[in-house]
Structure 1
Amino acid sequence: MTGPAVVPRPLRLQQLSDQPFVVVVGTAVMAPDPAARQAAERLATLVGGSVQATAAPEAAAFRLRLVGPADDEHTRTGPAGGEEALPALPAGESGEELPAGAEAYRLHVHADGVDVDARTPAGLHHAVTTLAQLLSGTSGGARTLPAVLVLDAPRFTWRGLSIDVARHFVRVADLDVVIDLMADHKLNVLHLHLTDDQAWRIDLPSRPELVRRSSGASVGGDPGGHYTAEDYARLVAHAAARGIVVVPELDVPGHVNAALHAYGELSPSGRPTDEYLGIDVGFSRLTAALPATEEFLHDVFSDVAAMTPGPYVHIGGDEVQGMAPDEYAALVGTAAAAVRAAGKQVVGWQEIATTPLEPGTVVQYWDVHADPAPFVAAGAAGARLVLSPGDRTYLDMKYHPGYPLGLEWAGHVELRDSYDWEPTALLPGLPAEALIGVEAAVWTETLRTLDDLTTMLLPRLAAVAEVAWSAADRRDWEEFRVRVAAHGARWDAAGLRWYASPQVAWARAPRSWTSDVLRSP
Structure 2
Amino acid sequence: MRQHRTFPRLLGSLLLVAAAGISSVGAVPGGAGAAPDTAPAAVRPLGEVVPAPASVKPSGAPYALTPATRIRVDDDSREARRIGAYLAAVLRPSTGYALPVTDDDHGRGGIRLALGSRDRSLGDEGYRLESGIGGVTITARTPAGLFHGVQTLRQLLPATVEKDTRQAGPWRVPGGTITDSPRFGHRGAMLDVSRHFFTVDQVKLYIDQLALYKINKLHLHLSDDQGWRIAIDSWPRLATYGGSTQVGGGPGGHYTKAQYKEILAYAASRHLEVIPEIDMPGHTNAALASYAELNCDGIAPPLYTGTGVGFSSLCVPKAVTYDFVDDVVRELAALTPGRYLHIGGDEAHSTSHADYVAFMDRAQAVVAKYGKTVVGWHQLTGTTPAKGAVAQYWGLDGTGAAEKEQVAAAARNGTRLILSPADRIYLDMKYTKDTPLGLAWAGYVEVQRAYDWDPGAYLPGAPPSAIAGVEAPLWSETVSTSDHIEYMAFPRLPGVAELGWSPASTHDWDAYKVRLAAQGPRFEALGIDYYRSPQVPWPAE
> Is the pair's TM-score, using the shorter chain for normalization, greater than 0.5?
yes
Deviation at 1:334, TM superposition (A): 1.8
Counterparts of 1:163 and 1:194, CA distance in 2 = 9
2:405 pairs with 1:383: no
Between the aligned residues of both structures, percent identity stands at 42
Q: Secondary structure at the match of 1:379?
A: helix
In the alignment, is residue 420 of structure 1 matched against residue 463 of structure 2?
no
Tell me the number of residue pairs that the alignment of Structure 1 and Structure 2 aligns. Answer: 482
Aligned-residue offset at 1:12: 1.3
In the alignment, what sits opposite 1:78?
A: none
Tell me, in whole angstroms, the C-alpha distance in 1 between the residues paired with 2:91 and 2:424: 35
List aligned pairs for 1:442-521, cutoff 5 A.
442-509=474-541
Distance in 2 separating the partners of 1:140 and 1:286:
60
Distance 1:325 1:289, change over 3 A: same
Mapped contact 1:29–1:50 kept (Cα < 8 A): no
**Contact persistence 1:488–1:508 (CA under 8 A):** no
Matched, 1:47 2:69: no
Call closer, same or farther: CA 1:228–1:297 in 2, change over 3 Å: same
Letter in 1 for 2:453: W
Deviation sequence 1:222-278 (CA, Å, 0-9, x none)? 231111111111111111011100000000010000000001000112121111100
Give the 5 Å matches for 1:168-183: 168-183=196-211
Q: For residues 161 and 481 of structure 1, what CA distance do their matches in structure 2 show?
A: 21
The separation in 1 between residues aligned to 2:416 and 2:249, in whole angstroms, is 38
Residue matched to 1:430: 462
Please point out which of 136, 149, 153 is paired with 1:127.
149
Structure 1 pair 196/231, CA: closer, same or farther in 2 (3 Å)? same
Decide whether the 8 Å contact of 2:128 with 2:149 is kept in 1.
Answer: yes
Q: Does 2:69 align with 1:37?
A: no
Name the counterpart of 1:111: 133
Question: Pick from 48, 57, 74: which aligns with 2:106?
Answer: 57
What pairs up with 1:78-89 in 2 under 5 angstroms? 88-89=119-120
1:412 maps to a residue whose letter is: Y
Cα 1:508–1:237, aligned 2, differ >3 Å: closer, same or farther? Answer: farther
Instruction: Tell whether 2:294 aligns with 1:245.
Output: no
2:432 is matched with 400
**Distance (whole Å) between structure 1 residues aligned to residue 504 and residue 280 of structure 2:** 35
> Conserved in 2, the CA contact under 8 Å of 1:23 and 1:145?
no
Return the offset for 1:16.
1.5
Residues 127-276 of structure 1: pairs in structure 2 closer than 5 A: 127-136=149-158, 141-276=169-304
Q: CA RMSD in A?
A: 1.8
Residue equivalent to 2:116: 67
The secondary structure found in structure 2 opposite 1:214 is coil
Q: Distance in 2 between matches of 1:500 and 1:397?
A: 16
The change in CA–CA distance for 1:316 and 1:30 in structure 2 (over 3 A counts) is: same
Query: CA separation in 1, counterparts of 2:248 and 2:132?
Result: 55
Q: Which amino acid aligns with 1:172?
A: V
Does the 8 Å contact 2:448/2:535 carry over to 1?
Answer: yes
- The amino acid across from 2:253 in the alignment is G
The amino acid that maps onto 1:57 is H
TM-aligned CA deviation for residue 4 of structure 1: 4.5
AA partner of residue 9 (structure 1):
A
Is 1:102 aligned to residue 134 of structure 2? no
CA shift, 1:126, in A, is 0.6
CA contact (8 A) 1:359 1:381 kept: no
Does structure 2 conserve the Cα–Cα contact (< 8 Å) formed by 1:154 and 1:470?
yes
Structure-2 separation of matches of 1:249 and 1:454: 22
Cα offsets for 1:448-481 (capped at 9, x unmatched): 1111110000000011111111111111100011
State the distance in 1 between where 2:490 and 2:168 align: 31
Name the TM-score, length of structure 2 as normaliser. Answer: 0.86
Q: 2:352 is matched with which residue?
A: 324
Contact 2:195 2:247 in 1 (8 A): yes
Relative to structure 2, which stretch is displaced further, 113-122 or 257-266? 113-122
Distance in 1 between the 2:205 and 2:513 partners? Answer: 24
Q: CA deviation at 1:114?
A: 1.4
CA 140–314 in structure 1, closer or farther in 2 if over 3 Å, else same: closer
Q: Which 10-residue stretch deviates more, 248-257 or 3-12?
A: 3-12
CA distance in 2, matches of 1:53, 1:302: 43
Structure 1 CA distance for aligned equivalents of residues 169 and 464 of structure 2: 49
Change (3 A) 1:304 1:234: same
- Per-residue deviation, 1:23: 4.0
Distance 2:540 2:364 in 1: 48
Q: Retained in 2: the 8 A contact 1:365–1:385?
A: yes
1:298/1:25 CA distance change after superposition, 3 Å: farther
Larger CA deviation: 187-196 vs 354-363: 354-363
Which stretch of structure 1 is more off in the superposition, 413-422 or 490-499? 490-499
Structure 1 runs not aligned, ≥5 long = 70-87, 90-98, 510-521
Residue 24 (structure 1) aligned with residue 64 (structure 2): no
Q: Report the alpha carbon displacement of residue 14 of structure 1 after superposing the two structures with TM.
A: 2.0
Task: Find the aligned partners of 1:394 and 1:468 in 2 and give their Cα distance.
Answer: 15
CA–CA separation in structure 2 for the residues paired with 1:19 and 1:409:
49
Distance across 2 between alignment mates of 1:23 and 1:131: 16
Amino acid in the other structure paired with 1:429: G
Residue 305 of structure 2: aligned partner: 277
Please give the secondary structure, in 2, of the residue aligned with 1:141: coil
Partner of 1:294: 322
**Structure 2 residue ranges without an equivalent (≥5):** 1-43, 93-97, 162-166
CA drift at 1:51:
5.8
TM-aligned CA deviation for residue 411 of structure 1: 0.2
Distance in 2, Cα, partners of 1:508 & 1:203:
48
Tell me how far apart the structure 2 counterparts of residues 175 and 317 of structure 1 sit (CA, whole Å): 24
Per-residue deviation, 1:26: 6.0
Q: CA deviation at 1:50?
A: 4.9
Give the CA deviation at 1:378.
1.0
